[in-house]
Structure 1
Amino acid sequence: MQFSEPISAAFPGLHGRVLGVLARTERALTGRAVAGLVRPPASTSGVQKVLDDLVRNGLVVAEPAGRAKLYTFNRDHVAAPAIGELANLRDLFLGRLRSEAETWEVPAASVWLFGSTSRGEGGPASDVDILVVRPDDVSDSDPRWLAQLETLAGHATRWSGNPCNIVEYSTADLQRLIRRRERLITELRRDAIPLAGAPPHQTLTRKIA
């Protein structure tokens, strides 16, 4: 999945990226503004051609605004609900991860998404990076625990098409990383998205002892 523009999974090319921008906002945007929000970037002339095509097909509404035009996604179009879901595939993906991690038979102390996927920058070849904090009273060889990790990784790949990389630490190991001010901790504080258990802001407070 192209996490920077998930709709590209079903609508590859500039049409999907332009639709994604408009479907995620209620604001009316000029063609230049749409071009500035498209990721990966595209030329203003290319975006304008796509907008004209989408207007002809009724998916986008254009209204004059002086010498310019303002464009909005036509939410009354019969295709609008499907396009809206496609534009928000990342949120649906996160919801599935949360639903699974929150119902583990052996609860994790914390489960967080981090890396490029958490920042909304990952592409089809990017790993889905998930950090799992194992309670200290759970053995790292517990078959139930290992089965949960394997199932989550498999589901994350099937749901997104991206390889999944699970990074596992015990609670004590994570505290040691915090005390040593490891680079991973800085990244987690900046980017981690909570999926289950204690959230990053609660867990990553540096311990002095």
Structure 2
Amino acid sequence: MQFPEPMSSVVPGLHGRVLGVLARTERPMTGRALAGLLRSHASPSGVQRVLDDLVSNGVVIAEPAGRARLYTLNRQHVAYPAIDQLARLRQLLLDRIKAEAKSWAVPAKAIWLFGSTARGQGGTDSDLDLLIVRPDDVDDSDPGWLEQVDTLSAHASLWSGNSCEVVEYSAQEVQDLINHGERLVTELRRDAVPIAGSTPRQILYRKAG
């Protein structure tokens, strides 16, 4: 999955990138303003050609504004539900992971997304990094625990197309990382996205008892 621009995972090229920007806002904008919101550079002329194509297909609405034209996504178009789904691929992936985690016979204390995918920077060759906090009363070799973690990792890879890498700590091990001022804790405090269980703030800012 292209995490910075999920739409591009299915609609490659500039069309997907432009649709991704339009799907994120209902505010009318000029083609030049839209080009400035793309995560990677595209020429205003290239963006304009895409907008003209989308307008001709009725997917985008163009309205005059003085000498300029303002563009919005046509949310009444029959294609809009599909566009909306594609624009939200990252959140849909996290929702699936959360739903599976909630079904675990041995619940995790927390599951977070971290690394480049959490920062919205990961591409197709990036790992999908999950940090799982295991309850202290569950052994790391518990068969039931291992099976559900392995299954989630395999499913997340299938759902995203990215290799899922799991980093696992017990709750006490996380506390030890905090007490020793490990760099990972700083990175998690800055970037981690909560998926299930306790949030990074609830765990990473807790004082040792």
Q: Smaller-chain TM-score range?
A: over 0.9
Is structure 2 residue 29 aligned with structure 1 residue 13? no
Name segments (4+ residues, structure 1) moved above 6 Å.
Answer: none
Instruction: Write the distance in 1 (CA, Å) between the matches of 2:201 and 2:82.
Output: 35
**Kept in 1: contact 2:175–2:208 (CA 8 A):** no
Structure 2: runs of 5+ lacking an equivalent: none
Does the 8 Å CA contact 2:18/2:47 hold for their aligned counterparts? yes
Check whether the contact 2:2–2:8 (CA below 8 A) recurs between aligned residues.
Answer: yes
Q: Secondary structure at 2:133's aligned position in 1?
A: strand
- The answer to whether the aligner puts 1:193 opposite 2:193 as a matched pair is yes
- Paired AA for residue 143 in structure 2: P
Write the mapping of 1:145-156 to structure 2, written as runs, cut at 5 A. 145-156=145-156
Structure 1 residues 104-143: aligned runs within 5 Å:
104-143=104-143
Equivalent pairs, count: 209
Flag structure 1 segments of 5+ consecutive residues without an equivalent: none
Offset from partner CA, 1:77-113 (integer Å, 9 cap, x none): 1111111111111111110011011221111111111
Whole-Å Cα distance in 2 between the matches of residues 182 and 33 of structure 1? 42
Name the amino acid aligned to 2:147.
Answer: A
Q: Counterparts of 1:139-178 in structure 2 under 5 Å?
A: 139-178=139-178
Corresponding residue SS for 2:70: strand
TM-score by length of 2: 0.97
Structure 2 equivalent of residue 87 of structure 1: 87
Distance apart, 1:206 and its partner CA: 4.9
| TM-score, normalised with respect to structure 1 | 0.97
Secondary structure at the counterpart of residue 72 of structure 1 = strand
In 2, Cα distance between the equivalents of 1:93 and 1:29? Answer: 29
Deviation of the 1:208 alpha carbon = 4.8
Q: Distance in 2 between matches of 1:131 and 1:86?
A: 26
Secondary structure of 1:4's aligned partner: coil
Identity %: 66
